[in-house]
Structure 1
């Protein structure tokens, strides 16, 4: 009888221990982080995310990625440039998780990658820039087109100094070039002497180093090293500023995108939500772009 009673007590103790262990495991599952981002965790997200493409979107991606990783130390976001076409191809082919682009998909890309999903992350203006020594402060859209198609070859033909025009633009992988070609050039050919650069930064550097150069860059690349020209679309010169883009008065503005293959999940979904949230959009504004909350309308 004593042996049976001891056995019963031992069995009851074992059951109690099992219950305690199960409860502890469930409680731990509610307080520690996972790759899916369990609430209450200091490191809610983990994994690697590759982001590539547009050099216009690049500063936004780099800074929001840094801020996102600071809040999620288990996340590793790898960001690189290369141009909009590179980003779209990379995400479409599955070699990147997110493709950055400063233009929408071409018809050929829609056909080749039908499952790509577009996410608007910011609004940007394209600024036409010259060397600060150039006395020209504003141009009409027709004058800009004339400089880029070779109609004008000297700055004195558009009210500037007696100086040869050095036309500088982007290469064929650039979404900024695509938008500029449609909006300003009206799909006319660029002059064959145009210097083609593979990034906004390279265009800017050429303008800084070349007194007669003209170039175009995303709004976020403007600083005191270049002169951003006002553009007259028929109602007087308008400067490329966040306020003028938000009001719709600046004529060269467009949306900036990140593309995913299908609807985003996991880390990609969390990162895109972060960009569109208050902290991400503040970074967008701080970098000289227009946040999504702005009252922007395409001119």
Structure 2
């Protein structure tokens, strides 16, 4: 009887141990632009895949890629392409160039307060505003009032993409950096003379600025159609980066994200599918 009890206890312990080892943990870290979408992906995926445990955190694209390099995350979310210097660090540590997966498309909106009389700007004008070269709304057809700038912190992929593709120089020292797109939207919503930038999905309580590629081009709002066909001038891909080709549960999760079911959540969150 005593031996039977011991055998039963051992069987229970082995069963519990097996149940723990059967759970595969996946960590996702990086772009704040992708946090809400990634959390939805994780939530829906785990409902139909009980053996997967997916943890999603933000911090910015640079933070996510740094975590990928130091081995503390499986997937790095980024709203900008990986830098050559970051690829070199991956190669030095893991002897791999990494794997880039475009998982969604996004229009980078320029946010204006709803009371602002200005409704459209050229890409050049937006760049000059954030560089501090245009400082008054009257210079772009608005009222005589100073322009107040709100932007992301330097670890943000949105910060880097906007700098490289729109500002094309250093940001104005007067640009107030805020930790997350939602904070920028909130600031612009409360400030009549403010301007900010961020993902199109976050534009609630503010108005999107219609953007002109140049003086002769039409002004275009960020919509599903204009982002899909690239007529909206500030369009970008959103990425997932991995150290190497995914396998096991990570591969299953990535494949599901790119499937019609995963891409449907992209649309529901306010972004746009890659295909």
TM-score range, shorter chain: 0.7 to 0.9
Query: What do residues 185-206 of structure 1 show as CA deviations (whole Å, max 9, x unaligned)?
Result: 12x1111111012211121121
Q: Deviation per CA, 1:275-298, whole angstroms, max 9, x where unpaired?
A: 1001110000111111012xxxxx
**CA shift in 2, pair 1:46/1:124, >3 Å:** same
CA separation of 1:265/1:183 partners in 2, compared to 1, >3 Å: closer, same or farther? same
SS at structure 2 position matched to 1:113: helix
What do residues 71-92 of structure 1 show as CA deviations (whole Å, max 9, x unaligned)?
1123211111000000001111
Give the corresponding residue for 2:48. Answer: 71
| 1:217 and 2:198 matched | yes
Equivalent in 230, 246, 252 of residue 234 of structure 2 = 252
SS of residue matched to 1:191: coil
Give the 3-state SS of the residue equivalent to 1:169 in structure 2: strand
2:119 to 128, 131, 137: 137
User: 1: distance between equivalents of 2:29 and 2:190?
Assistant: 28
Tell me by how many angstroms 1:35 deviates: 9.6
Equivalent residues, number: 251
User: Where do residues 100-115 of structure 1 align in structure 2 (5 Å cutoff)?
Assistant: 100-114=77-91, 115=96
Unaligned 5+ segments in structure 1 are 1-32, 37-44, 294-299
What is the correspondence of 1:149-228 to structure 2 with a 5 Å cutoff? Answer: 149-186=131-168, 188-223=169-204, 225-228=205-208
Structure 1 residue 46 displacement after superposition: 3.1
Structure 2 gaps, min length 5: 1-17
Separation (CA, whole Å) in 1 of partners of 2:128 and 2:36 = 31
Alignment partner for residue 108 of structure 2, among 126, 131, 143? 126
Measured against aligned partners, the alpha-carbon deviations of 1:224-247 in whole angstroms (never above 9, x if no partner) come to x01111101131101111110111
Query: RMSD in angstroms over aligned alpha carbons?
Result: 1.7
Task: Within 5 Å, give how 1:223-242 maps onto structure 2.
Answer: 223=204, 225-234=205-214, 235-242=217-224
Structure ranking higher on relative contact order (CA contacts 8 Å, 6+ apart): 2
Q: Does 1:285 align with 2:267?
A: yes
